[in-house]
Amino acid sequence: MRDDPATDLTTPTEIDWAAEVAHLREADAFFAPLREDMAGWLSPATGSRVLDAGCGAGGMTTLLARAVGPAGHVLGIDAAAPLLDLARARAAGEDLANIEFRHGDATRTGMPAGHFDAVVCVFGVFFAPDMAAFTAEMWRLVGPGGLLAITTWGPGLFEPANTIFWDSVRAIEPSLFKAFNPWDEITTPQALQDLYSRAGVANPAALAAPGQHHLDSPDRFWDIVLGSGYRATIDALTPGQRQQVRERVLGELRTQEIATLQTDVVFGMAARPGERA
């Protein structure tokens, strides 16, 4: 699951990871209930072989490992080696022996076709340069009777704080302002189904799930900023600009007394015909 600041699935960004572990752990608490929903939507069978493509710090991967049980096996792949270190530590802390993490490009695994009973990509497909090609690669890895599950964000993610963030960035460094997010192309069930179809996947299903996230304090939004896709923009600012953006964002959140963020999600799934081996 891409609960991290990388901007794509193939090349990790240059980040002082050791200094950011605390922010990633704070952001992890935000993603936890979303992972639980995804695991419930997928419901992998005991003994399944599962791939978590773009696994990040391993939050979803460990959930899946518990779901498939000791007879199953879960593989997580990610391009950010420091995140995989966090993932391995998480798995070790939960005493999970049926889990493996590999450093690599999730969009080009080189693994045999039909190798997995389920392939999962949670909040990561939109970071791929070619989403349809990535989806096709994941589908290639799904065996008969297996599932491909993709989760993406719904419209209006993190609003109203998202607008405040980008308005602040535009005020401090206009060249970094983004009028759209990488997931904007697939924020509805129909759009996600269309992505499956472009990848050659037949009869996909998709479901929109409304969501909200409560902020204990405005500072908690900054933890989300530093532990999510916003981070690439923050890293492009100078230290002085970062502080200015942070002060503007948190100041506006306090002034408007914003304590709730919009976190709608779209779940997608497709089953390959046939019976599981």
Q: Which residues contact 95 (CB under 8 A, 6 or more apart)?
A: none
CATH second-level architecture of 17-158+182-214+262-271? Answer: 3-Layer(aba) Sandwich (3.40)
| pTM of the model as a whole | 0.85
Query: End-to-end alpha-carbon separation of the chain, Å?
Result: 27
Over the stretch 203-249, which tens digit does the pLDDT of each residue have?
Answer: 999 999 999 999 989 888 998 888 777 888 998 999 999 999 999 99
Please list, residue by residue across 55-78, b when 16 or more beta carbons sit within 10 angstroms of its beta carbon and e when fewer do: bbbbbbbbbbbebbeeebbbbbbb
Lowest mean pLDDT among 2-16, 117-131, 157-171, 177-191: 2-16
The ranges assigned to domains in the chain are: 17-158+182-214+262-271
Q: At what angle do helices 131-140 and 189-198 cross, to 10 degrees?
A: 70
Q: Which of 172, 261, 273 is nearest to 223 (CA)?
A: 261
Helix boundaries (H) for 43-160: 59-68, 81-93, 131-140
Over the stretch 106-123, which tens digit does the pLDDT of each residue have?
Answer: 999 999 999 999 999 999
Q: For residue 202, is pLDDT > 70?
A: yes
Q: Provide the pLDDT confidence category of residue 277 given band limits of 50, 70 and 90.
A: low
Mean pLDDT score of the chain, rounded to an integer?
88
Over the stretch 240-266, which tens digit does the pLDDT of each residue have?
Answer: 999 999 999 999 999 999 999 999 999
What is the average pLDDT across 15-40? 63
Q: For residue 144, is pLDDT > 70?
A: yes
Question: Which single residue is written with the structure tokens 């609003």?
Answer: 159
